[in-house]
Amino acid sequence: MGPGKAELLAAIQSTGSIAAAGKSMNMSYRRAWLLVDVMNRSFAGPVVHAAKGGRHGGGTTLTPLGLHVLDQYLKMAEAVNHTAQAYLPLFSGLMSKQVDESPMDE
C-alpha cells in the first residue's frame, strides 16, 4: 500500500468507477483494474466491490474494509509528514546560499 494505491482508492470512492478513477489519475483502465485486483488479493478481504454493468449500470464502491484501509493509510501518511516536519530544520545549514528555492518546493 502506498500513495498511488491510496489515491486510486480515494478516486474510486469519489467517482464510483474504476475507469473514471484511473482517468482522473492519467492511468489506463487496465492499470487501475490491475492495482485494484492486487489490493483485493493482498488484504484480508476485498477493498473494492465492482458491480457489473447492464441495464441498471455498474458501479464501484469501497468495501467497509477498503474505507478502513484508506482511512488508516491517510492517518499514517499525516503522522509521517508531521514527524518529518520536525527534521527539516536539520537541512537549513546544509543548503547552498546561492540556490533559490524551486517553485516545485512550494
Q: Which CATH number covers residue 9? A: 1.10.10.10
pLDDT exceeds 60 at position 93: yes
For cell 478502513, what's the residue? 68
- Examine residue 89 and state whether it is found in any structural domain, yes or no: no
C-alpha pair distances (Å), 76 with each of 1, 57, 83: 11, 35, 11
Spatial separation of the C-alpha atoms in residues 19 and 40, rounded to whole Å: 17
How many domains does the chain divide into? 1
- Examine residue 91 and state whether it is found in any structural domain, yes or no: no
pTM to 2 decimals? 0.77
- Examine residue 28 and state whether it is found in any structural domain, yes or no: yes
| pLDDT tens per residue across span 4-48 | 999 999 999 999 999 999 999 999 999 999 999 999 999 999 999
